[in-house]
Amino acid sequence: MHLLWVKTELLHPIDKGGRIRTYNMLRALKRQHHVTYLTLDNGAAAPDAAETAQEYCHELVRVPFDEARRLSPRFWLELLGNVASPLPYAISKYRSDPMRREIETAVRDLRIDVVVCDFLAPSQNVPEGLPCRTVLFQHNVEAAIWRRHADVRGNPLSRAYFREQCRRMERFERRECRRFDRVVAVSRADAEAIERDYGVTSVADVPTGVDTEYFRPGGRAVQDARNLVFTGSMDWLPNEDGITWFVDEVLPRIHERMPDVTLTVVGRNPPPRIRALAGRDQRLRVTGSVPDVRPCLESGSVFVVPLRVGGGTRLKIFEALAMERPLVSTTIGAEGLPLEHGVHALIADGAKPFADAVLSLLSDPRQASAMAITGATYVRANFGWDHAAGKFIDLIGAINGTARN
């Protein structure tokens, strides 16, 4: 089977959840099928990103793409111009007629069996009426993320903006989910939301996975009994919002009882707002990108996921569990993952309950250790990437084997 995988970026560096999930799926697919990877290329990938693409595809097709740098003057001009657009800015900025033409050419000349559109943004460039099956791989329900952004905004103008972007995203997402032959979600919860909200019946889900051989304790760092750890791309708004809320609302409650507790925030491109938080309190450390996240995880006594906004599933949770870290998450942070409160992790919403959950683990290392071992055992037994990728491969094979409507 020949797959055409359509995306908005090269995968290296593999430093955020979506790239990690795609990379592992594609590596497994490549072992059994022929993969052509067609992507927009804005020049921001790692210097060796094109060369290392051979790890996950047989051919690489790059479409030059001039993307506005976030918070640049051009970015603000585009944002202003988007006011009159029917599309949310997060979608409209990826419109590319050259990508559309390259997809048409590839399907025609390479005799593609299945086109997989990875994330919602590039779907607008996938032409109608292709003579092959089409799959939309939804890592999130995008409209839900924007709705949650609006819900947590205190500024009325900001709240109105996010509500309008949500309205546009919901309309666009409904249309795109309905026109692909199959939608693949990353959790049963997301699949049910797509079925319920968009009236789509051809929805399947694949589980989240983790590299259980890579993410294992190895004595790379000494554990600090009072250090909390968070990992995640800090240029993703839900992570920025979650850490800001945690530092402003949760951490002071923890410091009332344990003043020496520290927080290490690990992740690429922390914005000025997050760096400013670290500047005002030496107990907060912001690392930016790191070559290996495992020493940071090992140094922590509790892993925290204080997300108030988000969608899909958080790979960071399975990584932390595989590293035998006790974990506290909000309900949204752990959404879509089959974790049992009090067994694999503690789930807490609101500043006080979240702080109390963290304090309970810090105060009882024996309980924390037992929960960490239980969580690690559970993840290793059920959520290796081979299992997740295998289900995806089965879905693709089934899609290719069914007749088009």
Structure confidence by residue, pLDDT tens digits, 99-136: 999 999 999 999 999 999 999 999 999 999 999 999 99
Residue 53, pLDDT score: 96
Per-residue pLDDT tens for 338-369?
999 999 999 999 999 999 999 999 999 999 99
Domain assignment of residue 405, yes or no:
no
Residue 402 has a pLDDT of 57
pLDDT of residue 405: 41
- Position 359, amino acid: L
Task: Please state whether beta strands 133-138 and 34-41 pair in parallel, antiparallel, or not at all (unpaired).
Answer: unpaired
Which among 100, 93, 91 is positioned nearest to 125, based on CA atoms? 100
pLDDT of residue 63: 97
Q: What is the pLDDT of residue 91?
A: 95
Same domain, 343 and 238: yes
Residue type, 333: G
Is residue 165 domain-resident?
Answer: yes
How far is 303 from 281, CA to CA, in rounded Å? Answer: 20
In a domain, 312, yes or no: yes
Question: CA distances (Å), 84 to each of 66, 78, 89, 92, 166, in order?
Answer: 21, 11, 10, 11, 15
Distance CA(209)–CA(317), nearest Å, equals 10
Mutual angle of helices 237-245 and 142-152, in 10-degree steps: 30
- pLDDT (0 to 100) of residue 274: 92
CATH of the domain at 204: 3.40.50.2000
Which token pair is 176?
A: 């795109």
Q: Does 396 lie in the same domain as 373? A: no
Output b/e per residue, 166-185; b: 16+ Cβ within 10 A.
bebbbebbbebbeebbbbbb
Residue 331 is predicted with a pLDDT of 95
Is there a single domain that holds both residue 136 and residue 237?
no
Are the beta carbons of 125 and 94 closer than 8 angstroms? yes
Does 134 share its domain with 255?
A: no
pLDDT at 81: 86
Sheet holding 114-118, edge to edge: 59-64, 34-41, 2-7, 114-118, 133-138, 182-185, 203-205
- In this structure, are 195 and 285 located in the same domain? no
In this structure, are 48 and 181 located in the same domain?
yes
pTM score of the predicted model = 0.84
- Per-residue pLDDT tens, the chain, 405 aa: give them: 999 999 999 999 988 888 999 999 999 899 999 999 999 999 888 899 999 999 999 999 999 999 888 778 888 898 888 888 899 999 999 999 999 999 999 999 999 999 999 999 999 999 999 999 999 999 999 999 999 889 988 889 989 999 999 999 999 999 999 999 999 999 999 999 999 999 999 999 998 889 999 999 988 888 899 999 999 989 888 999 999 999 999 999 999 999 999 999 999 899 998 999 888 888 999 999 999 999 999 999 999 999 998 776 788 999 999 999 999 999 999 988 899 999 999 999 999 999 999 999 999 999 999 999 999 999 999 998 888 888 998 988 888 765 444
Same domain, 79 and 90: yes
Q: Please check whether residues 196 and 337 belong to one and the same domain.
A: no
> Domains in the chain: how many in total?
2
Same domain, 164 and 252: no
Same domain, yes or no: 129 and 271: no
H/E stretch holding 44: none
Span between the terminal Cα atoms of the chain, in Å: 20
**Residue 229 DSSP SS3:** strand
> Is 215 contained in some domain?
no
* Gap between the Cα atoms of 95 and 123, Å rounded: 9
Q: Tokens 């290996």 correspond to what residue? A: 292
pLDDT of residue 181: 95
Q: How far apart (Å, rounded) are the C-alpha atoms in residues 141 and 129? A: 25
Using CB atoms within 10 A of its CB, is residue 14 exposed (0-12), middle (13-18) or buried (19+)? middle
Do 8 and 148 lie in one domain? The reply is yes
Both 43 and 189 in one domain: the answer is: yes
- Report residue 288: phi and psi, to 5°: 75, -160
Domain span at residue 196 reads 2-209+385-400
In a domain, 339, yes or no: yes
Report yes or no: 395 and 204 within 8 Å, Cβ to Cβ. yes
Per the domain annotation, does 222 fall within a domain?
no
